[in-house]
Amino acid sequence: MKLTVLAVGDIVGDAGIDYLERRLPALKRLKAVDFTVVNGENAAGSGILPRQAEAIFSAGADVVTLGNHTWGKRQIIPLLDDNRYLLRPANQAPQLPGRGWGVFECGKWRVGVLNLIGRCGMDFGPENPFTLADRILKEMDADVRLIDFHAEATSEKAALAYYLDGRVSAIWGTHTHVPTADERIFPRGTGFITDLGMTGPMESVIGVRPEQSVTMFLGGLPGRFEPASGPCKLDACLFEINPGSGLCTAIERLSVRD
């Protein structure tokens, strides 16, 4: 008895969406995926447009999570209220549009997904993700519990995983766009990886045109970052969950490239 969950790293630009559309359906068939969560907060570079969210769902995402660039494109605000499968970080201000978690049907199982954002290295003060997770998990009536922790600090991500070990099925990090090679199952049964990586252009600086990033670090005039072009990749992680116990039994890091 198992439920296979695929978590896909941050989509960067329309090129990342195009690559997701081309590669995700076959990957889901190959790995017999039951439930898919995709982080889409950089689909428009900074933020996500409604058409891009719909494209990610059409490509095969069951739930789309966001992060610190949730509000980069204000056009997404109505969809945040209307579509319960599109989540923004739960520990952002409660008066903001949208929701930060939900429980979704997957066959005979209930899958809970919680989107959180970190506080270390961010330019704002969200609510404490540790104590908020405590409160939400008490309300979350689900067989499988998943967390996308959109955070900068590797220490904060690992600390949350240890704190919630045995209470959630899997926790994965997003935001840095660089995949980490530390996938593991914690002592009490929670699957974890510090960062999934990204889905988008390989010849880039975390998805951005290299020349723009170089110019910034050389002290040049700041400008709006633009997604790079060229060959793409899809970074992800596969979690096998026992829905009876709600714990992770296997984990596999994936990187799909042409």
Active site residues: 69
In 151-246 the beta strands, taken as DSSP E runs, fall at 170-174, 184-185, 191-193, 198-201, 232-242
Residue whose token pair is 């199982």: 109
* Euclidean distance between the first and the last CA atom of the chain, given in angstroms as a whole number: 33
The 10 Å CB-count burial string (b at 16+, else e) for 165-191 is bebbbbbbbbbbbebbeebebbeebbb
- Structure tokens belonging to residue 195: 């960062």
* Sequence-separated (6 or more) residues with CB below 8 Å from residue 14: 43, 52, 227
> Is there a contact between 136 and 114 (Cβ–Cβ < 8 Å)?
yes
The DSSP secondary structure of 70-84, one letter per residue, reads: GGGSGGGHHHHHH-T
Query: Exposure of 49 by Cβ count < 10 A (0-12 exposed, 13-18 middle, 19+ buried)?
Result: middle
Residue labelled with tokens 């978590």 = 7
- Bridge partners of residue 238, in order along the sequence: 6, 252
